[in-house]
Chains A and B, each alone.
Chain A
Amino acid sequence: MSEYRGGAQARTALARRHRVRAWEPLPWIVALGFFFAFPKHLGFGTEVLVTILFALSLDLVLGYAGIVTLGHAAFFGVGAYTVGMLAKHGLWNEPLTSLALAGIVGAAVGLGSGLVLLRTRGLTLLMLTLCTMALLEEAGNLAHTWTGGFDGLDSLPIAPLLGRFEFSPLYPTTQYLYVLVVLFLCFVFVRTLVYSPFGQSLTGIRENILRMPAVGAPVPRRLAVCYTLSAGIAGIAGGIWAQANAYVNLGTLGLDRAATVLIMLALGGRGRLYGAFVGAIAYMVLSHFLSKIYPTAWQLGLGLLLVVIALFAHNGILGLGETVWRRLRVSRPLNMGAPQHRTPNPPL
């Protein structure tokens, strides 16, 4: 991706990338504005925010480290069940601490599976992550005394946030703001991480896994750390989903969720931080409103969108935006740390 430059030069280059751009507060202002403008859409809004958080965690491994996984819902589900089982069995129901626990458990599972699975790449890794997740899902079904099996754990007694704010099932105002704050914190963490030297080495691994050991980067360890952190964030996403819905079931561990988030990220554009936002919003808003208008055949519209984006944009909606932007302002190329367009495509 980049040839070796002097240490000082590299530092300034990183610092320049890291600086907050003028438009970056915009998504957060919009998210807050949504809260006041559409009080009746907050349930959907909360789901979108949780999905963005989940997609963000996937972007870390997929967009930055180039680990193509179809099993990311494993960590989401583990986080959700951590919160769910603790609350349902009367062990612990304070939201913030149990959310932290969900993150820790997610990260632990990520570390354990990552150490074993990350030795492989491509299709093999894809199937290994998928099968691990499916195995967890089946285990969840078998252990129905604790997990509630297929029916899941319902009516979780989640304590009020900070001891004051109740989670109302019908008007999820607390949920929305809570998720928004957690998303913001996680985003700041991920943003700092990817612009750090650690994040740069991940990008290096993605672009050329053979060359990185040559420049002295400990590739397997970097990948394992990245996978663990990402699993932790996915665990938080799952945990907060369980809290917001006061409910958890096997769907949190399912392929549906894992595949959908992958599609969202591909749709938005990976390796760009905001791809998670754009992809999740585009996918969910479109399918939400299309399915309201035409409940039986809304997938047609969604399918067309995916096909068109795949055909005419490289790397999702943001990729398309960037191409257009570049054409408009040839003199100032924008580099958001996006992956180079590879040719020819190596087989999975």
Chain B
Amino acid sequence: MLLGGIAAGMILFIVSVGLSVTMGLMGFVNLAHGGFAMLGGYAIVLAMKHWGLGFVTALAFGFLATAAASVVLERLLYARLYRATELDQVLFTIGLVFIMIASLTLRFGPENQPLTLPRALQGQIDLGFVQYRTYSLVLIVTGIAIVVALWLGFERTRLGAQIRAAVDNRRMAESLGINIARLFTITFALGSGMAALGGGLGAEFLGLDPQYALKYLVYFLIVVAVGGLGRVTGVFFAALLIGVLDFVLKKYLPQGGPMFIYAVTIVLLLWRPQGLFGGKAA
């Protein structure tokens, strides 16, 4: 019964992949990434509740709204800190998270925002050989679609090539005439948009309240570290590995509690300090 673990891994992947790319490319420690996932999740849930948007339309709306908001923040604020130290970036992004949490609490209250899935996605589905939770299957399919799309985007388009070039050697890329500032903005918007998708898709499992921004940050960071910075496929397999291992160990050894995810991470990181698929020194 690995499907459950794979589904959990997919949520981790969808939220974390944007973080991996922005951190790898921009070298920016963006602890507000979970905050963007939260903002996106709120946008999606509230759009469904108040405007009656369908789930898929709402997801698209959440993606676009969060990406747009992140462009504004990136141009106005983030861009000023690209050359600052990691600690200043940590300070800034944590401050931003506090502001997000407090604003959402003031506006919508501290309570959980329930997401109601379309009826078609609820309940169980018969796969012929086994009964399984429909939504888990949806997540798996979506996750695979996203990783394929991202992989194609990175490997086959000009923009993807530019991003890869900038991740590997920023100065060289700059001297080749690549507009790094524009690249940063696009990547950042894409990363935040992906986070928003993850926030909406994962709300069924992770819930959605103002604490979301900090509650799951550790898991996202773990996936990025294990997957390797700036590696789409690395993050994908890391998320799957952690999702499945965590699931299996929890099911058969529940007494160990949540220790596994940390123990697994420690072992993996000691084995491959640059992440499972990270090539260059990070």
A and B touch in the complex (CB under 8 A): yes
Given the known interface contacts A135-B263, A347-B229, the answer about A310 and B99 at a Cβ–Cβ threshold of 8 Å is no
Given the known interface contacts A127-B222, A348-B23, the answer about A315 and B87 at a Cβ–Cβ threshold of 8 Å is yes
Given the known interface contacts A139-B259, A255-B218, the answer about A302 and B98 at a Cβ–Cβ threshold of 8 Å is yes
Other-chain contact of B96, A122, A131, A259, A303 (Cβ < 8 Å): A303
Q: Give the complex CA separation of A300 and B103 in angstroms.
A: 7
In the complex, whether A132 has a CB less than 8 A from a CB of chain B is: yes
Chain B interface: which size bin? 35 or more
One of A181-189, A262-270, A325-333 contacting the partner = A262-270
Q: Give the complex CA separation of A62 and B94 in angstroms.
A: 18
Q: Which residues of B contact A132 (CB under 8 A)?
A: 262, 266
Residues A348 and B86 in contact, CB atoms below 8 Å apart: yes
Q: How far is the CB of A132 from chain B (nearest CB, A)?
A: 7
Q: Which residues of A contact B85 (CB under 8 A)?
A: 314-315, 339, 341-342, 345
In the complex, whether A344 has a CB less than 8 A from a CB of chain B is: yes
For chain B, residues 215 to 240, give those with C-beta under 8 angstroms from any C-beta of chain A: 218, 221-222, 224-226, 229
In the complex, whether B27 has a CB less than 8 A from a CB of chain A is: yes
In the complex, whether A153 has a CB less than 8 A from a CB of chain B is: no
Q: Give the complex CA separation of A339 and B88 in angstroms.
A: 13
Q: How far is the CB of B7 from chain A (nearest CB, A)?
A: 23
Given the known interface contacts A134-B262, A270-B87, A345-B85, the answer about A307 and B95 at a Cβ–Cβ threshold of 8 Å is yes
Would you mind naming 16 contact pairs between A and B with Cβ atoms under 8 Å apart? A116-B270, A123-B229, A124-B225, A126-B225, A127-B226, A128-B265, A141-B257, A262-B90, A263-B91, A265-B87, A303-B97, A303-B98, A310-B91, A311-B80, A314-B84, A344-B170
Q: How far is the CB of B273 from chain A (nearest CB, A)?
A: 5
Quick one: closest B residue to A123, CB to CB?
Answer: B225
Given the known interface contacts A127-B221, A314-B88, the answer about A303 and B23 at a Cβ–Cβ threshold of 8 Å is no
Other-chain contact of A345, B83, B96, B106 (Cβ < 8 Å): B83
In the complex, whether B46 has a CB less than 8 A from a CB of chain A is: no
- Residues of A whose CB lies within 8 Å of any CB of B are 62, 68, 116, 119-120, 122-124, 126-128, 130-132, 134-135, 138-139, 141-142, 255, 259, 262-263, 265-267, 270, 296-300, 302-311, 314-316, 339, 341-348
Residues B92 and A310 in contact, CB atoms below 8 Å apart: yes
Quick one: closest B residue to A259, CB to CB?
Answer: B94
In the complex, whether B89 has a CB less than 8 A from a CB of chain A is: yes
Residues B99 and A130 in contact, CB atoms below 8 Å apart: no
Residues B81 and A311 in contact, CB atoms below 8 Å apart: yes
Q: Give the complex CA separation of A329 and B131 in angstroms.
A: 75
- Residues of B whose CB lies within 8 Å of any CB of A are 23-24, 27, 29, 77, 80-92, 94-103, 105-106, 110, 170, 218, 221-222, 224-226, 229, 255-259, 262-263, 265-266, 269-270, 273-275, 282
Q: Which residues of A contact B262 (CB under 8 A)?
A: 131-132, 134-135, 138
Quick one: closest A residue to B29, CB to CB?
Answer: A348
Q: Give the complex CA separation of A139 and B256 in angstroms.
A: 9
Q: Which residues of A contact B105 (CB under 8 A)?
A: 296-297
Q: How far is the CB of B25 from chain A (nearest CB, A)?
A: 9
Other-chain contact of B27, A255, A308, A309, A346 (Cβ < 8 Å): A346
Q: How far is the CB of B147 from chain A (nearest CB, A)?
A: 21
Other-chain contact of A124, B95, B99, B273 (Cβ < 8 Å): B273
Quick one: closest A residue to B274, CB to CB?
Answer: A124
Q: Give the complex CA separation of A20 and B205 in angstroms.
A: 57
Residues A345 and B274 in contact, CB atoms below 8 Å apart: no
Residues A127 and B269 in contact, CB atoms below 8 Å apart: yes
Q: How far is the CB of A39 from chain B (nearest CB, A)?
A: 32
Residues A348 and B98 in contact, CB atoms below 8 Å apart: no
Residues A297 and B259 in contact, CB atoms below 8 Å apart: no
Residues A310 and B23 in contact, CB atoms below 8 Å apart: no
Q: Which residues of B contact A302 (CB under 8 A)?
A: 95, 98
Q: Give the complex CA separation of A345 and B273 in angstroms.
A: 20
Quick one: closest B residue to A310, CB to CB?
Answer: B92
Residues A128 and B270 in contact, CB atoms below 8 Å apart: yes
Q: How far is the CB of B204 from chain A (nearest CB, A)?
A: 25
Given the known interface contacts A306-B94, A306-B95, A345-B82, the answer about A315 and B263 at a Cβ–Cβ threshold of 8 Å is no
Q: Which residues of B contact A138 (CB under 8 A)?
A: 257-259, 262
Residues A348 and B266 in contact, CB atoms below 8 Å apart: no
Q: How far is the CB of A312 from chain B (nearest CB, A)?
A: 9
Q: Give the complex CA separation of A309 and B99 in angstroms.
A: 14
Other-chain contact of A267, B91, B218, B226, B282 (Cβ < 8 Å): B91
Residues B77 and A311 in contact, CB atoms below 8 Å apart: yes
Q: Which residues of A contact B77 (CB under 8 A)?
A: 307, 311
Q: Which residues of A contact B255 (CB under 8 A)?
A: 142
Q: Which residues of B contact A316 (CB under 8 A)?
A: 88, 91
Residues A127 and B84 in contact, CB atoms below 8 Å apart: no
Q: Which residues of B contact A122 (CB under 8 A)?
A: 282
Q: Which residues of B contact A266 (CB under 8 A)?
A: 87-88, 90-91
Residues A300 and B218 in contact, CB atoms below 8 Å apart: no
Q: Which residues of B contact A270 (CB under 8 A)?
A: 87
Residues B98 and A299 in contact, CB atoms below 8 Å apart: yes
Q: Which residues of A contact B218 (CB under 8 A)?
A: 130, 134, 255
Q: How far is the CB of A271 from chain B (nearest CB, A)?
A: 10
Q: Which residues of B contact A135 (CB under 8 A)?
A: 259, 262-263, 266
Q: Give the complex CA separation of A228 and B270 in angstroms.
A: 20
New A-B pairs, 19, CB < 8 Å, besides A297-B106, A310-B84: A126-B225, A127-B221, A131-B269, A142-B259, A262-B87, A270-B87, A299-B99, A300-B98, A302-B95, A306-B95, A307-B77, A307-B92, A307-B95, A309-B91, A310-B92, A314-B84, A315-B87, A347-B24, A347-B229
